[in-house]
């Protein structure tokens, strides 16, 4: 995908942009059985898919929504001239537009089908536009980086797979970090005390969006530096977090989660080394229409 540069970047910024997939990740091509993919992910693999035409179309569609919402061809720079309240309002409008857009949904289902996860055998979470401004005055939980966490601490579903893709080029200081070495290492966390119901009730100001690690890992995380048009898949049991810089450039991406019904039926999933979720949050997912394995 061409023409993807940050206006006004210095040579140092462009130097840290990804030119190849980090050695912690492995490329994966469609055509392998979905069970083999699931088992690799549940064993800790970090998988990159590339050259999937529905992903390219999804990126283009999401960008078009951003351009329309922010009324600019460079939505990443919009935070530089908008007030905090205006940026917050537009960002939340864009998130809702992507989440409810039928074309985005179709491109995503086409992506999963190519990978091997059919719509009639896959549980799917809401498709999310990730908006991470470099400013610290936006004041909304959904528009901030998330501290180190495993998604399974909140969902309790060990068969959950996370999918993540950038809409514009990434830099090391504004992306997602992963800690592959912590995949089987118990990490002190707040999953035993966190309650989704308490979060939804909003009775406590600043109640956390999700359970998180009690402290940041000693070792640095591995930055995800894939290109727009590439797709990362990883087990929801991986420890990960977001980071942002102060460049005046907003990071935009799309992410969602899925569970393959045959994995659920067979009891396959990643090892739960430290989670204490109060149940499995299947209500976060849209159930498949027909269950079964090819």
pLDDT tens for 118-167 read: 999 999 999 999 999 999 899 888 888 989 999 999 999 999 999 999 99
The answer, yes or no, to whether residue 185 has pLDDT greater than 50, is: yes
Rounded alpha-carbon distances, angstroms, from residue 246 to 138, 230, 251, 284: 13, 25, 11, 33
Nearest partner of 184 among 277, 268, 274, judged by Cα: 274
**pLDDT above 90: percentage of residues in the chain:** 80
CATH T-level topology, domain 25-269: Jelly Rolls (2.60.120)
Q: The tokens of 70 are what? A: 């922010």
CA angle, 56 then 123 then 228, to 5°: 20
Mean pLDDT across the stretch 95-100?
Answer: 97
Q: Which residues pair with 171 in a beta bridge?
A: 174
Q: Over the Cα atoms of the chain, what is R_g?
A: 18
**pLDDT score of 256 more than 50:** yes
Q: What pLDDT is recorded for position 180?
A: 96
pLDDT at residue 82 above 70?
Answer: yes
Residues of the chain with pLDDT > 70: what percent? 89
d(Cα 133, Cα 151) in Å, to the nearest integer?
22
Tell me the domain boundaries of the chain. Answer: 25-269
Helix residue ranges per DSSP H, the chain: 11-15, 34-42, 53-70, 84-100, 102-115, 152-155, 196-201, 261-266
Three-state DSSP state, 130: strand
pLDDT recorded at residue 22 = 55
Q: Retrieve residue 75's tokens.
A: 């939505």
Angle at 51 between CA 179 and CA 220, to 5 degrees: 15
């Amino acid at each position: 995908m061409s023409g993807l540069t940050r206006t006004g970047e210095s040579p140092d910024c462009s130097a840290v942009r990804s030119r190849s997939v980090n050695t912690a990740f492995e490329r994966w091509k469609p055509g392998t059985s979905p069970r083999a993919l699931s088992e690799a992910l549940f064993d800790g693999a970090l998988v990159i898919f590339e050259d999937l035409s529905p992903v390219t179309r999804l990126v283009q569609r999401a960008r078009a929504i951003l351009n329309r919402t922010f009324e600019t061809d460079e939505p990443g720079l919009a935070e530089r001239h908008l007030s905090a309240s205006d940026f917050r309002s537009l960002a939340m409008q864009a998130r809702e537009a992507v989440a409810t857009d039928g074309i985005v949904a179709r491109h995503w289902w086409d992506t999963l089908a190519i990978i091997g996860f059919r719509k009639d055998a896959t549980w799917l979470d809401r498709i999310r536009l990730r908006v991470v401004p470099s400013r610290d005055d936006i004041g909304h939980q959904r528009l901030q980086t998330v501290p180190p966490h495993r998604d399974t601490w909140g969902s309790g579903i060990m068969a959950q797979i996370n999918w993540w893709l950038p809409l514009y080029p990434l830099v090391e200081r504004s992306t997602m970090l992963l800690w592959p070495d912590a995949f089987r290492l118990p990490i002190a966390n707040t999953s035993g005390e966190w309650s989704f119901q308490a979060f939804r009730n909003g009775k406590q100001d600043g109640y956390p969006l999700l359970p998180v690690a009690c402290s940041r890992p000693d070792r640095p995380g591995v930055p995800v530096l894939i290109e727009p048009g590439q797709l990362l898949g990883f087990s929801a049991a991986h420890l990960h977090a977001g980071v942002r810089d102060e460049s005046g450039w907003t990071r935009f991406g799309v992410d969602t989660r899925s569970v393959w019904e045959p994995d659920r039926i067979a009891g396959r999933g990643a090892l739960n080394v430290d989670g204490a979720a109060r149940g499995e949050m299947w209500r976060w997912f849209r159930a498949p229409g027909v269950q079964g394995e090819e």
